[in-house]
Structure 1
Amino acid sequence: MTPLVFATKVIIRGCLNQIKAYFLPSAFTLPHCDKIYVMNRVVVLDKPRGLTSQQAVTSVKHALGVKKAGHAGTLDPMATGVLLVCVGEATKISRFLMDLQKEYLATVKLGERTDTLDAEGEVVERVEGVVPSSSAVLEVLDKFRGEIMQRPPMYSAIKKNGTPLYKLARKGIEVERKERPVTIYSLLLEAYEFPYLTIRLSCSKGTYVRTLADDLARELGTVGHLTALRRTAVGTHRVEDALTLDTLGETLGLEAAGAIEIEEALSHIRVVSMRQEDFLLARNGRPVSATPYGLEDGPDSLLMKTPFGVPFALGQVEGGQLRVGRILHLSAESLNQ
């Protein structure tokens, strides 16, 4: 390649980068680089086994070259599957994603209980001679569908007087934990060959599958612990569409199914398109009347869009007024239109 051809390619690439940055404000490119780095999006990551959720986030930050990112719902190191990683301005919407319904594929080993209730812990109890029948398993599963009460495990991030329970557990300290209501929307038997039991479930936020495995085993007259856990979906975001850490290290197109826009990630939230005069007030944090939009007071958050259809804030209706909660800096141009 001659110097002239090389220089020409560099100039063309730089121009293309500027065009992408102008028309696609949710992404940016680095000069002389073929990768398109995703910003202000939610990465649907297929987390590998062995990484903590925070380590997975750090890996995403390094792969994409971004400084700000966070996850929307912890996965234990042993678990794999869907971890929603919010990048850039998308970190502001993480709390709205944590409430989404989760789906898991879990394998339980009957006859052995560990201190952590999963394969990462030490065996603390064994029960021999109890081999539940398939019909007994199906009968017990039926008891755990719907709203149930769960006691969080000691090895969890829940805090007691400011200290995570898992830190107390590592010191051999056990404290009282209050039961909490959770909802099991569906619970199906995928496979059973003693001592291994595989179930597929969809559940609400705050459900501990480790605890469910322990409770199921107890109900079957034995003990058990989780040996494998894969989160197959969070809301409508499925593991089949997820990106891997290896994928993130390769060229990543803006239309990749695993890197979604904020509006798509918030598809479960009502959208309000603002009139020009109201937008000019709202973008500066001033409340506007909710009446023209047919909105009533309520706890639900709203995604507010500019008259040009660009999401710019999250808001809520209080006292008949639409109030901005968080400004989303997705495009400087959109706020100045």
Structure 2
Amino acid sequence: MTAEDYLNGQIILVDKPLKWSSFQAVNKLKYALINNIGLPKKFKIGHAGTLDPLATGLLIVCTGKFTKIISEIQGQAKEYTGTFYIGATTPSYDLETEIDQEYPISHINEALIHKTVKQFLGEIDQKPPIFSAIKKDGVRLYEHARAGETIEIASRKTTIHEFEITRIALPEIDFRVVCSKGTYIRSLAYDFGKAMRSGSHLTALRRTKIGDYDVINATNITLFEQNIIDKL
């Protein structure tokens, strides 16, 4: 692949590592291309949908003219797999923050879990986590949260197309979800626990698909950089 190819437009499927931000992943690719095949420092590059640092999986990176279709890609349905931890909540709804409250789980069985899944299929109302990058009054919600401020968050309409439980080993439940743009799986974890008269938070998350793009076709960032060097 030449510098001209990337300037004309390429789609790079990346398997984002754990604890990397989406911004870090894009920057790593950007400077690999600048330093090794001579792309200009201000060439166009961006990703189609943020993944939290504690999530892994498919990150779609567009270069050159293909950055114009980022919004189109972002609008497609997304598939995730992961794990809910039942019986405890955290302020961030995941492992970014410590457990703040514990709940009973002795009443929870497979029948209740599968019955609860049905409540979340189709269009639902969902509140984004307070620890999110959404802005309110010009300030990101996580900044309000870290300052200890109480903020009223409006709910949003989102759609869960598929919701499958793949493993039950309480307090852990593994799942697969196909959902619309703007769905927060952390909020789904929290709401799922609440619907079972308990608590829940997300302990693992992996994005596996965006539309027809699949993580099985994604590249490891380090290997991507090495392949560029090897072809010089």
Indicate whether the TM-score tops 0.5.
yes
Q: What's the TM-score once normalised by structure 1's chain length?
A: 0.63
**Aligned partner letter, 1:56:** A
Aligned to 1:85: 61
Where do 5+ consecutive residues of structure 1 fail to align? Answer: 1-26, 30-35, 253-337
Confirm or deny: 8 A CA contact 1:105 1:232 kept in the other structure: yes
Confirm or deny: 8 A CA contact 1:104 1:230 kept in the other structure: yes
**Aligned partner letter, 2:2:** F
Equivalences, count:
220
Cα separation, 2, equivalents of 1:112 and 1:42:
40
Aligned to 1:56: 25
Alignment of 1:183-222 (within 5 A): 183-222=159-198
Aligned to 2:90: 114
Aligned to 2:75: 99
Cα separation, 1, equivalents of 2:93 and 2:141:
14
Cα separation, 2, equivalents of 1:158 and 1:233:
23
**Secondary structure at the counterpart of residue 205 of structure 1:** coil
Matched, 1:28 2:2: yes
Structure 1 residues 206 and 174: CA distance shift in structure 2, 3 A: same
Alignment of 1:295-310 (within 5 A): none
Matched, 1:46 2:15: yes
What root-mean-square deviation, in Å, do the aligned CA atoms of Structure 1 and Structure 2 show? 1.5
Confirm or deny: 8 A CA contact 1:45 1:244 kept in the other structure: yes
Alignment of 1:1-337 (within 5 A): 27-28=1-2, 38-39=6-7, 40-65=9-34, 66=39, 67=41, 68-251=44-227
**Aligned partner letter, 2:89:** R
The structure having more radius of gyration, on CA atoms, is: 1
Cα separation, 2, equivalents of 1:83 and 1:129:
35
Identity percentage over the alignment?
38
Deviation at 1:128, TM superposition (A): 3.4
Where do 5+ consecutive residues of structure 2 fail to align? Answer: none
Deviates more, 1:243-252 or 1:133-142: 243-252
**Aligned partner letter, 2:19:** G
**Aligned partner letter, 1:141:** V
Cα separation, 1, equivalents of 2:106 and 2:156:
30
